Amino acid sequence: MTVSGKTKIYGVIGDPIEHSLSPTIQNSAFQYFNLDFIFLAFNVKNEELKNFIKCTRSFGIQGLNVTMPHKENVIRYLDEIDDNARFLNSVNTIVNNKGRLFGYTTDGIGAVCALKENNVDLASSKVVLLGAGGAGRAIALSLADKVANLVILNRDLEKAKRLYIKLKQKFNRNIFGGSLSEDSIKKHLENSDVLINATNVGMKPNQTESIIDSSMLSSNLTVMDIVYNPIETKLLVDAKRIGANIINGIEMLIYQGAASFELWSGKKAPIDVMKKAAIKKILTTGEAN
């Protein structure tokens, strides 16, 4: 990669940010197309966010990914956000169009693409989604009008209820919100096609943990975990052992990154290139956030 005075700058902001996979993923795509772009990681504290976004305009940073803890707070400093970002009150991608900053969310898009690419027929599927945090909300929004039934289970019951009520009002579909308890999971999994873990249970250094007991899994399930380090969580190992179809967190990560890349470049993202770069990075370093 050659950097010059003409090189366009992109980046990811968050705190902490040192172990982000985004630079690896995005730079691999930039290099594939021989684009004169570079992607950097910027550690931005809460109190620095306003000034950093101001500098994004004045220094001509062309685009940003946004991760915790800035996905909500960054909105006040943008010129426009899309409908899904407004519904979620969350932005993970910013496009700088001649000094005007546009905010988008690609988190849910990543999950939908990962499921489709693994031959899941969304229109006929009942999906059980575990977790109603930022990632869970984005996935729920993207799936709500595409699946036959959506069940959202969360430890904070009121949070699950608020989300499913908003989604029912928006889409008028078969959506339910309940408690993330053993009994509730077991009940809803009995007739389900897809299970998605949208919590951080099973992430390193707690890779021996699983969100549910393996006895609740069945071979006719597709099990997706948004955790991508380790690449196969205990939940996925348990599901694979009994013959279930599994989708690891790298899939969602790559597809949401691909959606950002396409917003910035106008080109079709090289999925295989981005995926190979991410997996190599995780296997080489053993860590990523």
What would the pLDDT profile of 222-254 be if each residue is shown by its tens digit? 999 999 989 999 999 999 999 999 999 999 999
54 catalytic? Reply is no
How many separate helices (H) and strands (E) can be counted in the chain?
A: 10, 12
Asked if the model's pLDDT at residue 49 lies above 70, the reply is yes
Give the span between the Cα atoms of 244 and 196, in whole angstroms. Answer: 13
Mean pLDDT across 94-109: 96
Domains of the chain: 8-105+251-285 (3.40.50.10860), 108-247 (3.40.50.720)
Which pLDDT score, from 0 to 100, does residue 134 have? 87
Measured distance between the N- and C-terminal CA atoms of the chain, rounded to whole angstroms: 24
Mean pLDDT comparison of 155-159, 206-210, 234-238, highest-scoring range: 234-238
Of the residues 6, 50, 54, 71, which is catalytic?
A: 71
Mean pLDDT across 128-151: 95
Asked if the model's pLDDT at residue 136 lies above 60, the reply is yes
Asked if the model's pLDDT at residue 287 lies above 70, the reply is no
